[in-house]
């Protein structure tokens, strides 16, 4: 695994470590909080390091990526996400490794697309999505001259779970606090994926997608509306959440006010017009291909949310290990 010291990689190491048929190694710029004995420090942007560290591998799972919204300079997205792919493929070829699982993203489709499936036109809007799509294009070109390889691409929607500090966690924290204001009617749907299901699907791909070029969106279905999400948090936490709805125009007006405040103070605030717009948008992605496979997700979306809520807000933890994502 390359880049498995982060949120998803840590859970994947935990899952596969329990199966005796896997001999695991993690190559990452950073040590692993929980699996340092499996981790070697290495940089996916360094060809010599990759050539050396992939020796003896049967398969590569490429997780290494620049994924936050505020990476600077923006060239880092392309150096890591695209250049890292090119160097990984060259190192694999040098070491006779012909199987790869690559973590891409639904960001390759762009914003406000209507339930796109894997064949939907690609229209990434930010550097993260653009660099992920360029990395996929590198894989496409590679496969044209390496048709005996097995290439698997997973495009997950926003991933949440225990220890994650991303947008879903921030939303759940706000709802759980009881200081939550619903902007709009709350009927907009949000595609999400629980980390426990994502890593289970990667294991499924390793064991059942051993030939050809395969691409899968990953979303835990059915999607929740915002109203359903709030109701679910209420049930899990046994807590009444005030159901105050603000009209969209008023929410956007408040968002613009925070934009002005952020510009004046030079601070990055948690509320903005862009965040209000994203909150009120429907973000749905098609998962028919996964649903048509023999994969069985170990948890429903509701169960994944309940496990996360209980871990974060009900039972106190004995450590402060968290993973920051968008």
Find the CATH number of the domain harbouring 301. Answer: 3.90.25.10
Number of Cα atoms under 13 Å in the Cβ half of residue 89: 21
Q: Which residues are catalytic?
A: 128
190, 149, 221: which is closest to 284 by C-alpha?
190
* Rounded distance between C-alpha atoms, residue 103 and residue 136, angstroms: 10
pLDDT at residue 326 above 70?
no
Classify residue 82: in a domain, yes or no.
no
Classify residue 12: in a domain, yes or no.
no
pLDDT at residue 98 above 80?
yes
pLDDT, tens only, 101-143: 999 999 999 988 899 999 999 999 888 999 999 999 999 999 9
Classify residue 235: in a domain, yes or no.
yes
Classify residue 314: in a domain, yes or no.
yes
What Å distances lie between residue 85 and 31, 96, 229, 325, CA to CA? 21, 16, 37, 21
Enclosing domain of residue 290: 161-190+221-326
User: What's the structural domain count of the chain?
Assistant: 1
Instruction: Name the strand (E) or helix (H) holding 183.
Output: strand 182-183
* Rounded distance between C-alpha atoms, residue 192 and residue 165, angstroms: 15
Of the candidate ranges 149-158, 280-289, 317-326, the one whose mean pLDDT is the lowest: 317-326
pLDDT at residue 197 above 90?
yes
53, 36, 33, 35: which is closest to 44 by C-alpha?
53
The pTM for the full model equals 0.92
Classify residue 226: in a domain, yes or no.
yes
């Amino acid at each position: 695994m390359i880049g498995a010291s982060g949120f998803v990689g840590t859970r994947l190491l935990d899952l596969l470590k329990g199966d005796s048929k896997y001999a695991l190694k993690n190559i990452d710029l950073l040590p692993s909080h929980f699996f340092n004995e499996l981790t070697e420090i290495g940089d996916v942007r360094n060809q010599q390091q990759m050539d050396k560290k992939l020796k003896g591998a049967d398969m590569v799972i490429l997780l290494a990526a620049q994924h936050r919204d505020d990476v600077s300079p923006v060239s880092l997205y392309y150096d890591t996400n695209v250049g890292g792919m090119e160097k990984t493929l060259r190192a694999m070829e040098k070491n006779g490794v012909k199987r790869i699982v690559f973590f891409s993203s639904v960001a390759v489709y762009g914003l406000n697309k209507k339930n796109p499936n894997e064949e939907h036109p690609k229209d990434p809007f930010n550097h993260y999505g653009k660099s992920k799509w360029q990395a996929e294009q590198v894989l496409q070109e590679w496969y044209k001259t390496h048709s005996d390889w097995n290439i698997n691409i997973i495009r997950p929607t926003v991933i949440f779970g225990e220890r994650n500090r991303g947008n879903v966690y921030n939303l759940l924290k706000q709802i759980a606090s009881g200081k939550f204001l619903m902007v709009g009617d709350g009927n907009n749907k949000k595609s999400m994926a629980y980390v426990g299901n994502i890593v289970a699907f990667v294991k499924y791909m390793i064991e059942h997608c051993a030939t050809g070029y395969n691409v899968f969106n990953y979303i835990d279905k059915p999607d929740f509306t915002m109203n359903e999400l709030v109701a679910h948090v209420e049930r899990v936490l046994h807590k009444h959440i005030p159901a105050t709805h603000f009209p969209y125009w008023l929410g956007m007006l408040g968002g613009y006010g925070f934009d002005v405040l952020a510009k004046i103070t030079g601070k990055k605030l948690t509320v903005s017009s862009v965040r209000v717009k994203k909150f009120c948008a429907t973000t749905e992605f098609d998962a028919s291909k996964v649903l048509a496979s023999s994969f069985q997700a170990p948890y429903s979306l509701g169960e994944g949310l309940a496990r996360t809520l209980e871990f974060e807000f009900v039972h106190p933890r004995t450590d402060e290990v968290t993973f920051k994502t968008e």
